[in-house]
Amino acid sequence: MPQVNVEINGRAYRLSCGPGEEEHVISLSRRIDSHAVTVGKASTPAAEAKMLVMASLLLADELQEAEAKIEALGAQLTQLKDSGVGGAPDERIAEMEHAVSEMLDKAANEIESIAVELDKAV
Domain boundaries, the chain: 1-85, 86-122
- pTM for this model (two decimals): 0.57
Mean pLDDT of the chain: 86
pLDDT at 117 over 80: no
Q: Three-state DSSP class for 87?
A: coil
Selected residue with higher pLDDT from 106 and 88: 106
**Which DSSP category does 85 fall into?**
S
pLDDT score of 114: 81
CA 81/CA 73 separation, integer angstroms:
12
**Which DSSP category does 86 fall into?**
S
Rounded to the nearest angstrom, the gap between the alpha carbon of residue 56 and the centroid of all alpha carbons in its chain is: 24
What is the chain's alpha carbon radius of gyration, rounded to the nearest angstrom? 32
Question: Do 8 and 25 meet the contact criterion of CB atoms below 8 Å apart?
Answer: no
